[in-house]
Structure formats: C-alpha cells, structure tokens
Structure 1
Amino acid sequence: MRKSLTALCCALFILLNSSSFAQENSSAFNPKQLQLSYEITDGKYQNKPQTLAILTLTNTGQAPLPASGWSLYFHSFPALKPKTEGAPVSVEHVNGDLHYLAPTAAFKSLAPGASQRIELVSGGQVVNDSRTPHGFYLVWDHDKCKGHATAPINVKKPDQPWVDWVQAKDIYAQNKVITDIPEEKLTKVFPTPAVYHETGKPFTLSATVPIVTDAAFMREADLLAEHLGTVFGKKPVISMLGTGKAIRLQLKKGMGPEAYELQVNPQEVVIAASTPAGAFYGTQSLKTLIPAAALAKNQSSVSLPGVRVSDAPRFGHRAFMMDVSRNFQSKEQVLKVLDLMALYKLNVLHFHLNDDEGWRLEIPGLPELTEVGGRRGHSIDEKDHLQPSYGSGPEADKTSGSGHYTKTDFIEILKYATERHIKVIPEIETPGHARAAIKSMDARYARLVQEGKPEEAKRYLLRDLEDKSVYRSVQNWNDNVINVALPSTYTFLEKVVDEILAMYQEAGAPIRTIHMGGDEVPNGVWEKSPAVETFIASNPSIKGKYDLWDYFFGKVNDMLKARKLYLSGWEEIGLTRVQQNGKNVYVPNQDFKDKNFHVDVWNNLWGAEDLAYRMANAGYKVVLTNASNLYLDLTYQKAYEEPGLYWAGFLDVDKPFYFIPYDYMKNQKVDTDNKPINPAVVFKGKERLTAYGRTNIVGLQAPLWSEMIKTPERLEYMLLPKLLGLAERAWAPDPAWATEPDAAKANTAYNQAWSAFVNVLGKRELPRLSYYAGGFQYRIPTAGAVVENGKILANVQLPGFIIRYTTDGSEPTEKSKVYTGPISDKGEVKLKVFSPAGRSGRVVTVVNKAS
C-alpha cells in the first residue's frame, strides 16, 4: 500500500506539471553523458581553513543540457557553497550529507561538447577524497520522484603545497627502527602468549592423526577438524578414546575461564583447559603454529614446532565493533569476520545495527524497519525508503546503502559466533542517531492511519508530530533524535528488545547486555515539543533537557534489568552537564555510577584526554575505545591515495600496538595532524587512573565505522593489519616497555617489541590471511625510500614482504627487479611492495638526481 501511494503521488506530480514535462522532454538529454570533474585550486582560500575547488560539468552527449528544469544531487561533508554571488548554480542542503545544486539565471544551456566551470568553497582542508563531493545524480523538475545517475565524478589529485603529505623519506625514517628477525627466532603463537617456550622437538601432523577429545570439548574438536580438512583435503577422525600419536583436548580443572595449556612434542599435541572457551583458544594457537604456506594448497603433512605454552588473556572483553548501518555488509562477510576474530582470540562482536542511515535487522511485527529503514534511494517523501547517504545513489537496492539481515540470518550469525566463543552485543542506537527508526515508524504511522487505525498507528511512534524543535546533529541531520517523553518510545524499545532476545534464545546464544547507543544528541532537541512540555508539567522533578536524558536512560536501564540485562552504551550515557568556572562541562553522572553501566569511551581528544580514566575512577565499567589509537576507519597515512577518514588523526598498525591501556597518555606520540607532541605538556593536569579505576577497565574495543566502506574489499583493507595490533594488546601480557620508568630504556624495549611484532605479521600472520577463510584483502604497506650519497635506500614496514622497482617509468610488477640493496640508477625510480602471495601496494616514486 505504501508503494502504491508513493507511485500515485509521483503520477499526480507529473500530471500537474505536464506542460513543463513536454518542454523538458524535448531535450532528450541523457544524464549518464554528463561528465563531472573536481579539482582543488586553493587549500587555504583567503588564508583561512577552507578550500576553493572547481566543479566542471561537461556534456559528452548529443543533446544539450537545458538551462533550467533540473537539480544535480550529490553528497558532501563538509558543505559546499558557490564562491561568488551570481554564480551559475545555487547549492542547497537537503539533510545529512545530501545536497543539490540547481541552475540559476546565469546558467546557460550546455551544448554537446561544452563545459561549465563552477567555483565552490568548502570548510577545512582536503587530505584525501573523503572530503570531496561524490554520488552525483540528476533529477528533472518534471519528475522529481526519480533520480538519474551521471557519469562517475573524476577527482583530480591536488598539487597542494599546503598539505604536508607523508613522503617516502618519512616512511623510511619510521621503518629504520625495524630489524629483520629470522623466522625461526619468532614466537610461533599469536597473539603473544603469557608463557612460551620452544623445545626444538617438532611434531609431524597429517590427516591420519586423530583428534582425541574430552566430551566437554567436542564442538571445539569439530571446528579444529574442519580447519585441518582445509589444510590436508581430508578431515581427521574425532574420537573420545585413543592411544598413540594424536591431538588431545583434555579437561583440566582449576584453570581460568579462557586459559589453556598447549604442548607439542614428537608423540602428541596436548591442549588442556577447564572450559570449552579455553580449549578453543588452545586450538586457535595450534592453528597459528601451522606454517602459513600450508594453506596455499593441500598438504600431505606439516611440521609443527615443539612448544610449551601456558596462556590466558589480559582482558576479558576483547571487542571489534562492526558498523553495518552506514553501509551494509552481507551475512557471509560477517561470518568471515567472525572467523578472523576467532583466530586472534577476540571475543566480542559489537554489532552496530542501526543509525541515521539504516536499520539492518528484521524485527517481527515491525516490517517497516527494514522495508523502509533498511533501504536507501532517491525519494521525495521517504515513505518507501530513506534518502541516499554517503553516495549510495538514486536507486534503492542497488548498492551497499540497502540491505538487512532476516531473522534467520541473524540467528545463523549468533550460532556461528557462539560456536567460536564470541559474544554478540547488538546495538540499538537511541535516542540520537535514530533517524532510520524514526522514519520507519513514520511510514508505519501513515499506513495505519490510512487503514483507519489511528490508535494502533501511534503505538510505536518515535517523534512528537507537533514538535517544532530546531537542531542539527554532527552529521548534519535535523530529524534524527527520538522523543523521550513519548510512552510509545518505550513501547517500541521493549518490542525491539524482546524480539532480539527471542532470536538469541532460538539461537542458543548468550546475551548479558544490549548496547543502547547514547552518543551525539545535539543541542536544541525537545525544546519546542508539546509532548515534552506536557511531560515536564506533570513531572516536577524534570527541569529540562538534561533531566530528560537521565530519565530516559534510567527508564531504559530499568527495562533491561527487568530482563536480567545490564546497560551498555557510549560514554554519554554516564555523563551529565554541570557548570565549572562559568563553562558547561561534562562529568561522570553520580546517579548511575553504581548501576553497572558499561561505557565505550571513544573521546580522548580536545580536552577529554582523561575522560576514560575519570569515568573508571568514578565507578563506571569502561571499555577503552580511544579514537586516536583504535578507530580502524581512520586512514593509515596522510597520503591522498589512502582511503578513510582523518578527523581524529591517522592510524597505522603501530597505534593500536603502542596503546597502553592503563597509562595511554604516557605513550601518545602525535596529535591529530600527526605532529609530535610532548605528553608531559599535553596531559598536564589530567586525571590519572587510580587503583580503583583500574579494576573498572574491562577491556578494549576497535570500531570500524562504515561511512567510506562500501565493499568487503574496502572493509578488509581498513581492518587489516590494524586489527592485529588490537588483538595483541587485548590478549598479550602487559609488555615491559609499557611500565619501564626510564624513557630511554622504554624506547629501546619498545623498538625491539615492535620489530618482533611486524616480523610476525610479515612472515607468518599476513601470509596466513592471504588464504585463511577464503583470503583477506589486507593493506600492503608502501615502501620507505630516501636518497643518500647518490643512491636510493628503501625499506618496508613488514619484513618478509618484497620491494620491487623499475627505472623506466613503468609500474613495478611481480617480474620487476627485487630490491636487495642501494639503487645507483639515476632519474625516476618506482618502488612497490608485494606480499608473499603476489598482491601489491601502491607505487612510491623517488627521483635520484644525476650528480
């Protein structure tokens, strides 16, 4: 019914504009033949933090683009505006990151072969194309219901002297501290175990070696057998009894909940644990003992090094947050990510299932959540689907902007995770970042009103229909916050929570918490809502917006407690605003500090450097989610070719690795612009973690937000190898360099540990991931290079990877020369890093000038 109503609306619009339709239709212009290019001309326009660029429209078709009667929609953050008054176009903001430009009286019909240059100004500096406009499509005035994609925009790499992009010589300097360590001297289990010893007495493993397991570990034995089947082409036999050469999973009482022991000797492999989780982690360590090359093709046998390992994790909460709302990932990709997490002993998938741009989980009884909230495309009313975001295009269901998990899909994901001892924490973003839910329930309301069911229509409504509040979220939405004064809001949340719990029950999956979001609610919300005014009038204890905040999370907490769950959320759920020295500041909320709130604290920037420690010291259970070190969606380097965001800095694999959970201010090395800092100055006066606060640090989490992640390949590129730094820091014991008081000794110890880590990655783990679970498209680093004494010296971040080069101007291939020492050739030299499996990174060009 909803779709037929929208179609009727569009048909009526066309009928009412039939005269203009006839006029515009004579043009026969094909939007796909509108070519667009974007070129930055001044990164410090008017000597301010703003950018001047030229958008060029070129007509490559056979018919003219009319002087009027159309709008060109696009996505951009930040906003763009014409440089001058009287420009040939105006630019208008729709919502979120969606804008459109429309021709003004100064725009002339664009003849075939002609171009129109448009000067545009935007805020900030463009370091990569994440801040350039994209996702263009054209909408005719006579048919505003339909969008037509143009040719893809061509963004020219700017020649910007005002951006200090990373240079090959900078990378070379970073890599100089890395020493090449022979593979036989590397620790063969990853992440680094608590106790590790090699005996020099290997074990020969083949498909004929059975797995003998205690009954308690049958599931873990079966998963191990499945993996060995991929190595040998045949699964080993599993039994509960047996003598002779075998892999043995043994129950041993008195060990920790995730602890295990692993012994490999010439006669047998023994994994001992007190719990299935411990046994499982023992099998994962066994898998990392298998040489990476063994996964490239079926083996008849492999040699495992003789080892004695006694191991347990440092933190009980080792989390990866996967955002599938901004851009969707398939069920199959989620399962692949779970395989990756399991191999490296990460045990929490924080599943970000809804946001402003999408609702991704089927909720029985609320079909609009996925029918409307799970789809994006051009729309004049958002009755069928949400508007486009992040360049998702005009057609719904055509891109990663659309998609959802059915109930069956989600139950399969839960079962898969549970088998691998991964807890899935679903996130229901409230009350902000909730536009997909709000619009979905608006569509439900409209449908039921038309069906003559006004009371049922209001049952799950998430906004006050009479609300005139004006606000703008950080992501530029003006309608993305749930109204917390409505009883229907809590009816909706109870419905969603209960349906999710039913899925967990059907899957046999454990659930102890639901993440309720809570971040980035903008100023101005609820201020002109009649429902809020009525609510406050009948509740004298509620004085204003911030009391509403406490009321909301108090009520949500009670709802979860009634279902034997605790509340998780972003840091804001545990903060309140107070005045200090005449300024509004956020401090830990004393009302909630003893209520087992678990907070993911991401903000460690711009004056909030100590926020995580302040909250832990106040009594909140804190998951360290520091943006500067753990946000995987941040671009690896300050290089135009590198994808990703950079609002919180640049994040290579070293930043998660050098993160010190209990004293992260000690080892913060650079600011958000990658400039060196002096921690003693930057963190002066900041609150340090107390002994009590230390007991409230429950673990670490690395989020991967998906604004710029539209394919599985891009997800894997941003995820790896950075996730391995998180895995090491969350599992491995506290390293000596983290607690060494002498700065020089700490630096020396760190460089040694860093060398060992990148050698393990380059020679063992990334080669493994070229094949594991179907293979991952991890990022391959760029070569470091410098000219010294008339010769080019090069190095690489990951020992074991190969640098190849050319001197004839061509791009290096697998057949190009291998770099083995200084290059004497003069002129332009191109260098490229290759993985052992033959994939390559991006080219670095160095000019060796003739003497």
Structure 2
Amino acid sequence: MRRLLFQLPMLLLGLISTAQVKKDANNAKNIAINWQIIENSHAGGGQFLSSLNIQNNAPLALSNKNWKLYFNFARRIVQETVTENVKIVHVNGDLYYIRPTEKFKSIHNGTSANIEFASKDWAVNFTDAPEGFYMIYDDAPNRPVPIQNVKAIPSTRPAQYARNQQDRVPPITPQIIYEQNKNSIDIPEKDLQKIFPSPLQYQDKPGEFILNQSVKITADPAFAAESNFLQQKLNRLLSPIKGAPTGKSIRLMLDKSLGAEAYQLEINSRQILISASEQAGIFYGIQSLLSTFPLQKRGVKISSLKIQNASITDQPRFHFRGLMIDVARNFQTKEEILKVLDLMGMYKLNVLHFHLNDDEGWRLEIQGLPELTSVGSRRGHFSDSTLNHLPPSFGSGPFLNEHHGTGHYSKADFMEILKYAKARHIRVIPEIEAPGHARAAIRSMHARYNRLMKEGKTAEAKRYLLHDLNDRSSYRSVQNWNDNVMDVSLPSTYNFIEKISDEIIAMYKAAGAPLQTIHFGGDEVPDGAWEGSPNSLNLVKERPELKDVNGLWAYFYGNIDRILKSRNLYLSGWEEVGMQPVLADGKKSYVINPAMGDKNIHLNVWNNIIGWGAEDLAYRLANTGYKVILGGVSNFYFDMAYQKSFEEPGYYWGEYADIDKAFNFIPFNSFLNSNTDKFGNTLKPGFYDTKERLTEKGKANVVGLQGLLWSETIKGPKNLEYMIMPKLLGLAERAWAKDPEWANEPDSTKRKAMYNQAWARFANTLGKKELPRIDAAFGELHYRLPTSGAVIKDGKVHLNNQFPGLKVRYTIDQTEPTAKSPLYTGPISAKGLIRFRTFDSQGRGGKSASIINEQEWNVTPKELP
C-alpha cells in the first residue's frame, strides 16, 4: 500500500504531463506561418529584410515562454536586427530556433505576431524561404511537432525581387518569354537531324530498312553484352511475327582502326552495320540507331518500322562527359540513380560524379566504420547530448526517417549501381569530400571514438579520429558550420582516408567496375580552420617549410596524391586543390600552385561567374598543367534556377541558367557568349582583354565537360528531374559534338544570325523528337516543361514556346488548362483572362501562365488568379 501511495503522485504527474504534451502538440498543429520578403538592399545593402508571421488558430494561447520554434534557413541572420520580442538562436549550419523573450505578447486564438529580421545577401524566390519548421515545448524536449501550414508569400515590388541596385534581370513575364522564343521558329520534323547529339558526319542514303523481329542480330564475341542490350530494346518495341526470316540482319562488328568511343553506322535496305574498336563505340552506335526510329507510344508494340538508309561516322569531342549528383545534402534512392544512368546512357554521357558525403550526410556503407551510416546518414531533432544522428538541414524535419535527410546506399546497393553504370559504359567517380564539408564524417568518427573509449579501447578509438579534441579554432563555413573541417595534421585523418579508399577499391573490384580515381573534394575550407588546433600548430613548428597553417593545404593534398598513386589511382578534386593560400598585407588570397601541375591531377573548375574575376581560371589551371573538367556555374550548375521568378525553384547565386547557357557554351572560348554579368549588366568593351586564353598545352589538358546538380534545394526525384532536364541535353550536345559553325564566324552580326538558326534547329529537335523520345522511354520523367510566351497583337493573344512541337492548351474561363482544354493552333481572339499551359506527349502539364486581352469584364487586379 505504501508503494502504491508513493507511486500515485508520480502516475498522476505522468498523466498530467502526457495530457499537456497532447495539448501542446494539438496547439502547434494549428499554427500557421507566412514568410515574406520586405526588401533587398536593406540598411544600405548587403542584406535583406524579411518577416515571419505566426498565426495561432488553436484555442490555447502561444505564450511568452515554454517553447522553441526550430527552422532551417540558408542565409546568415543578422542577430542585431531581430525583433526584440524574440531571440533567434543559431544552432549550427542552417538550423536556427526562435525563443520568446519576456516582451513577447501571447498570441491568442485568431491572432498573429510578426517577427522581422535581416539576413545576409538577398532573397528572390520561394527557395530562399525558411523551411522545416517544428515546435519543441520545454516540458517535452524529445517530442517535436512539425508545423505543416507554412507559406512563402510571392513578391510583387521591385524592392522585393531586385537583388541590389545593380540588378538588371527582370522578373520573367509571358511577354519576355515570347520575345526570347522569337527565334524558335517552326521547322518541319523531316528537316531535323536524325541523331542527337549531333554526329560528326551524317548522310542520308536512298531507300529504307524494314525492321521487324525476323531481323537477326549478329555480333563479334566482344560485343555480346551490347547485342543483348539491343535485342532487349527491340523486344519492347516489336511484336513477334510469323514466317520465314527475310535474311536481313544487324551486325555489330569489330574494327580496330576506329578510335576510342568512335563508331560507324551504315544502314542500307539489307543490313544495318555498326562498327567500333571497343564496346563503348558499339553502345553509342546502338543509341544512334535507336534515335533514328520513328516515335512510338510507350508500351505499344508494332510489327515493323521503317528506318531511313544512312551513313554515319561519329566520335565524341571529349572523353569526359559527366554529370555530378549530390546525394549528401538530400538523398536520392538507388532506383532514381539507375534511372539517371539510363538517361545518361541514352545521350552518351559517360561519367557519373557521385558526391557521397558532405556536412549534412554520409551516404555510403563502409565496412568496419558503421557509424558513418548509423550516425552520418541520419538527420533529426537532437539535444546537446545526442550523438547518434545529425541535426535537421534543408527542411528535412525533426524525424529521422522522413523527408530526404536520411538514407544511404548499402554495399550491395552501391555495387548494383556500379554494375548498371558499367553496362551503359558510364564510369562512376566517387567523391569523398575533404578536408572541408566533412562534418558528417567528423561527427560519425567522434561517435565511434566515444563508443570505443567506453569499451576501454583507447588506441582503436583514436585510430580514425578526424579532429583534434583540444581544437579551439573559430571559423564559420559558407554554409554556417563551425566544426566541419578535418584536421589535416592528424595521422588518424590519413588512416581514415586510406581505410575509405581501400573499402571503395574493394567494392569496385567486387562489382567488376573500372576505378581510375577518387575525388577528394577540396572546396570552401573556411578561414580560421586549424588555427586553434594544438596538433596543427605543433606540426607547423616541426615543419618550417609549412610557414604557417596555410601551408597545411598543400601538405594535405600532397599526402592524398601519394596515397592514391600508391594504389594506382589519380587524384581528382575541386579547383581549390590546384590553388594555395598566400598572405599579403594581412589579407589571404588564393593563387595557382604550380608545384602540383603536370602530375595528372584532375580538377573540376566551377568558378566562372562573370564579374567575380575568375572567368579564366579554368584556362589558367589547364595552361599550368592540371587536367581540367569544365563545369562552370554560369553554364553547367543545374541547380541554378531557370528564370527569375518567385515560383521557379533553385538557387541563382551564380546565374539564372536555362538550357541556352549550356547550348551556347564554347569550351575553348567561353568568353564568346558571356556578354553580361550575373546581374544582367552588359560587359564593357575590352572586359576580357586581360583574361588568359588557352594555350595548345592548355587545350590538351581540357579533358571534358560536366553538369552539376547540388542538392540543397532538391527534395526527391521529381525535383531532380526538373532541374537536370532538359539542361542535360545542352550539355550532351556540347560535350559530344564539335564546335558549331557559328562559333568560328568572326563577324558578330553573321555569327548571331547563324546562332539563331542553330538554336532553332536545336529547340525543334528537342520539342519534336527528344522530349517525346524520353516520354516513350521512361513513361514518367518529370523534366521541366517551359512556360509559353504570350503577347497581344491586333487584339488577339499570340502564344509561342521555347521548344516548338510541344502542345500548348488554353482556357478562357479562368480555369487551369488540362490535357483536354483547347489546343492552341493560332491567335486567340477571346477577351478577358487567357490561361495557357504547356503539355508533353503524355498529357503532363507544366506551370500555367496568363495574360489579359482587352476586355469588358469586372474582375479587379487583386482578384486575378
């Protein structure tokens, strides 16, 4: 009885606490949050002002105590500007929380509170908004409650969407789009090129080849896998037929006189012959053959099809034609990666650069280091004592297994990806980001250290530690982390690098996949790293040639280079690997390090932002001796927004980049079409006069082109596909085909006319052939459908599209156009609000837009949909 009397108050307290938690949770679920940009260039520039409006729709008041509101926000908040009734506390990275002060007035049912604060840089679209809101009550610290009702209010005033006073890029409108599309004239499909990307030589021949299931495929033994690949494609397209074989054949023949990846394709009425010196060439010849097939509906088999007789000789311009996908910031499933590999193979891209770790996630199982995935691949709410996962980032939310913050590839998954890539002649370059952007690895190895120390295994605990436990360095990375840099002075850091390298090598060997390099990052190490590390400072004292901690940069990559070369691999990294920090007048700058040139070090060069001063960096590195992959943000960062619009997803810190930025890029003369800076200002004459051009040595060191998809804003496969497609087709054309004729025309007027003609052919090819081919091949691939342009002429609405051939449908009753709405075939004479929308060949619609024709109607501007 005494025990029951003792336990009763505790049980009652538990019931009361549980009831309170439920009330708090219900209250939080009824909170609505609206975020809005107030103005850019706030308080003299360099920051913007925005507001959070918190509305309480629950019966309980939101008081001035007992709660924290967590959220992710990519911008650094200027704490001095925060409204005085709350505190906004930076946790780490992009994670913040709001805590009420005593001055906070309770928000009762049906009322709201406004919180204003300034942040660094600027904001333009909904991607800039804070996200991932969840509430934590003090009496339930481990029971986060997500806030679901969150909106970003569109901007309407120049002060909201102009980044600064220099910003000349206007918000996109149907009228602007119409003007942009004026060169996308309609070209009959019969006059378009049959093969994409553009082959080296193509010639139509008289006659046709009739393809059906009686046609036999014969192949050199070396091409058995490619023969099976082709047969599978034909089986999906052609229905079985009865009757004797016709004697027609498709031959896959070895021809050692052809170069690497080159092929010849001959189609006559009796035979299709594909010749190559290696399997990749045969594979590309098959892809070209498939691209000549007439368009068919997905899942519908036919008895036969006619193929135009032709003679094709082809080979790629660059042997590195890559796509980088970041799965660290937000995870993508194995199935989505396999889908991307199919798309890459279809367009003859041959390198998947796999960004497998970063501050916000480690995505690859490594045998012997379980914490890398048990800790480093999971994100969720945490307390100060939590070390078994990472904090929420990029709106991933408080729960471990929701959204896209958590996930990894098992060894079996990864080897399946490697095998799938190999079958499509795509080599996979694994990236292990170091020494910066390494927080997931650092925290994982710290968790391992704690586990083994508890077991009394001190030496083993320290074996792979990535930071000095006594480090007091103070720094802040670009993404606002203060603990994301490996300590490169520690022997245990190199133990870790060797362990990871050996495990990766073993997986490639088991998968039978080629491995030539491991990419070891190198970008964005913040100033201040290592300056408070006792171990780093001691190493500098022991090695006078290092001079100071800045010398640790070359020291680190010299060691990595030796580790990889001892394993018959070469080093790949970001452009910073070829640079070194120098101090002058107390200021740090970065210059090219000639000592690492001519050592077969491959650099991905991203910085070609017009106006930043490094427009020629890729050329200078190539001239110095580094092997260079061109992937400048101004042309090939696929996470950049297509256009300036509040509703258009993606970042834009480097450029607004539609597909034309990839299409008009000339690899050995990147200055040719870069006529404006990222703010839309026309460059002054002579802007490039002081920039370094490629030497003949430099040209030989440009190994290829690469598109890049960073995933801070990418939430799932639909977002991924929207951002990479159709931009990837512009990359494919430039990486495979020789320079277009217009690139070599010295007269600027003639060059512009020639470019417009080339663009029209390209745009028609995409709209009439390639995008429908993708629909048929994949069924569902959520590429971006461009918004149509619109103008009013002579009292009628005229529409056009970036890619002629796509269907445009419209409504005149203010409703959203559907696949059954009227098809645009000519100017629309109806008055009032005209809505229009682009559709693909399967009836999937893009974003709709509208224009008002002269009318007598009574809808006021504020009521417009």
TM-score bucket of the superposed structures, by smaller chain: over 0.9
Q: 1:500 aligns with which of 501, 504, 521?
A: 504
Matched, 1:41 2:38: yes
Distance in 2 between residues matched to 1:85 and 1:148, nearest whole Å:
24
Distance 1:796 1:679, change over 3 A: farther
Letter matched to residue 106 of structure 1? K
User: Are 1:42 and 1:51, in contact at CA under 8 Å, matched by a contact in 2?
Assistant: yes
Which residue of structure 1 aligns with residue 514 of structure 2?
510
Which residue of structure 1 aligns with residue 4 of structure 2?
none
Matched, 1:699 2:704: yes
SS in 1 for 2:132: strand
Q: 1:570 aligns with which of 569, 574, 578?
A: 574
Listed as ranges, the matches of 1:469-488 within 5 Å are 469-488=473-492
Distance 1:182 1:782, change over 3 A: same
User: Are 2:677 and 2:683, in contact at CA under 8 Å, matched by a contact in 1?
Assistant: no
Distance in 1 between residues matched to 2:364 and 2:241, nearest whole Å:
35
Please, which moves more after superposition, 832-841 or 191-200? Answer: 832-841
Please, which moves more after superposition, 530-539 or 35-44? Answer: 35-44
Distance 1:458 1:580, change over 3 A: closer
User: Are 2:185 and 2:760, in contact at CA under 8 Å, matched by a contact in 1?
Assistant: yes
Q: 1:812 aligns with which of 813, 817, 835?
A: 817
Q: 1:96 aligns with which of 93, 96, 104?
A: 93
Which residue of structure 1 aligns with residue 757 of structure 2?
752
User: Are 1:83 and 1:119, in contact at CA under 8 Å, matched by a contact in 2?
Assistant: no
Deviations 1:281-328 (A, max 9, x none): 101111111223243522222222222100000001000001100011
Listed as ranges, the matches of 1:232-381 within 5 Å are 232=238, 244-380=247-383, 381=385
Matched, 1:632 2:638: yes
Letter matched to residue 404 of structure 1? H
Matched, 1:224 2:230: yes
Which residue of structure 2 aligns with residue 53 of structure 1?
50
Which residue of structure 1 aligns with residue 112 of structure 2?
115
Please, which moves more after superposition, 788-797 or 646-655? Answer: 788-797
Deviations 1:421-440 (A, max 9, x none): 11100001000000000000
Which residue of structure 2 aligns with residue 597 of structure 1?
601
Distance in 1 between residues matched to 2:524 and 2:449, nearest whole Å:
26
Which residue of structure 1 aligns with residue 67 of structure 2?
70
Offset, 1:363: 0.3
Letter matched to residue 381 of structure 2? H
Offset, 1:792: 2.1
User: Are 2:174 and 2:788, in contact at CA under 8 Å, matched by a contact in 1?
Assistant: yes
Matched, 1:725 2:730: yes
Offset, 1:159: 1.6
Please, which moves more after superposition, 575-584 or 599-608? Answer: 575-584
Which residue of structure 2 aligns with residue 5 of structure 1?
none
Offset, 1:668: 1.0
Offset, 1:534: 1.8
Q: 1:128 aligns with which of 113, 125, 129?
A: 125
Q: 2:468 aligns with which of 461, 464, 487?
A: 464
Distance in 2 between residues matched to 1:679 and 1:510, nearest whole Å:
47
Distance in 2 between residues matched to 1:42 and 1:631, nearest whole Å:
27
User: Are 2:324 and 2:355, in contact at CA under 8 Å, matched by a contact in 1?
Assistant: yes
User: Are 1:472 and 1:522, in contact at CA under 8 Å, matched by a contact in 2?
Assistant: yes
Listed as ranges, the matches of 1:780-795 within 5 Å are 780-795=785-800
Q: 1:797 aligns with which of 778, 802, 805?
A: 802
Distance in 2 between residues matched to 1:200 and 1:88, nearest whole Å:
80
Distance in 2 between residues matched to 1:85 and 1:632, nearest whole Å:
34
Letter matched to residue 558 of structure 2? G
User: Are 1:20 and 1:142, in contact at CA under 8 Å, matched by a contact in 2?
Assistant: no
Distance in 1 between residues matched to 2:316 and 2:806, nearest whole Å:
30
Deviations 1:21-47 (A, max 9, x none): 699659545222222122333345446
Which residue of structure 1 aligns with residue 838 of structure 2?
833
SS in 1 for 2:440: helix
SS in 1 for 2:520: strand
Distance in 1 between residues matched to 2:281 and 2:441, nearest whole Å:
39
**Count of aligned positions:** 832
Distance 1:435 1:28, change over 3 A: closer
Deviations 1:706-762 (A, max 9, x none): 111111011001010000000000001111111211111211111111111111111
Matched, 1:199 2:202: no
Deviations 1:339-364 (A, max 9, x none): 11011000000000001110000000
Distance in 2 between residues matched to 1:587 and 1:539, nearest whole Å:
22
Distance in 1 between residues matched to 2:368 and 2:287, nearest whole Å:
40
User: Are 2:24 and 2:137, in contact at CA under 8 Å, matched by a contact in 1?
Assistant: no
User: Are 2:240 and 2:303, in contact at CA under 8 Å, matched by a contact in 1?
Assistant: no
Deviations 1:595-627 (A, max 9, x none): 111100000121111100000111111000111
Which residue of structure 2 aligns with residue 4 of structure 1?
none
Listed as ranges, the matches of 1:591-670 within 5 Å are 591-605=595-609, 606-670=612-676
Q: 1:454 aligns with which of 442, 453, 458?
A: 458
Which residue of structure 2 aligns with residue 10 of structure 1?
none
Structure 1: where are the runs of 5+ without partners? 1-13
Q: 2:534 aligns with which of 530, 533, 548?
A: 530
Distance 1:694 1:222, change over 3 A: same
Please, which moves more after superposition, 435-444 or 192-201? Answer: 192-201
Please, which moves more after superposition, 174-183 or 608-617? Answer: 174-183
Distance in 2 between residues matched to 1:683 and 1:235, nearest whole Å:
63
Letter matched to residue 35 of structure 2? Y
Letter matched to residue 639 of structure 2? D
Distance in 2 between residues matched to 1:693 and 1:354, nearest whole Å:
31
Structure 2: where are the runs of 5+ without partners? 1-9, 162-169, 857-865
User: Are 2:94 and 2:394, in contact at CA under 8 Å, matched by a contact in 1?
Assistant: yes
Offset, 1:19: 14
Which residue of structure 1 aligns with residue 215 of structure 2?
209
Distance 1:294 1:822, change over 3 A: closer
Give the TM-score, by structure 1 length: 0.94
Which residue of structure 1 aligns with residue 167 of structure 2?
none
Letter matched to residue 130 of structure 1? T
SS in 2 for 1:677: coil
Offset, 1:136: 0.1
User: Are 1:292 and 1:765, in contact at CA under 8 Å, matched by a contact in 2?
Assistant: no
Q: 1:411 aligns with which of 403, 410, 415?
A: 415
Distance 1:843 1:577, change over 3 A: same
Deviations 1:392-426 (A, max 9, x none): 00000212111000001111111111111111000
Distance 1:413 1:549, change over 3 A: same
User: Are 2:78 and 2:120, in contact at CA under 8 Å, matched by a contact in 1?
Assistant: no
Distance in 2 between residues matched to 1:19 and 1:272, nearest whole Å:
78
Deviations 1:229-248 (A, max 9, x none): 222266999xxxx9921111
Which residue of structure 2 aligns with residue 6 of structure 1?
none
Deviations 1:154-206 (A, max 9, x none): 11212223333011111111111122111111111110000001124221222
Distance 1:465 1:772, change over 3 A: same
Which residue of structure 2 aligns with residue 7 of structure 1?
none
Letter matched to residue 205 of structure 1? L
Distance in 2 between residues matched to 1:330 and 1:128, nearest whole Å:
27
Distance in 2 between residues matched to 1:543 and 1:702, nearest whole Å:
38
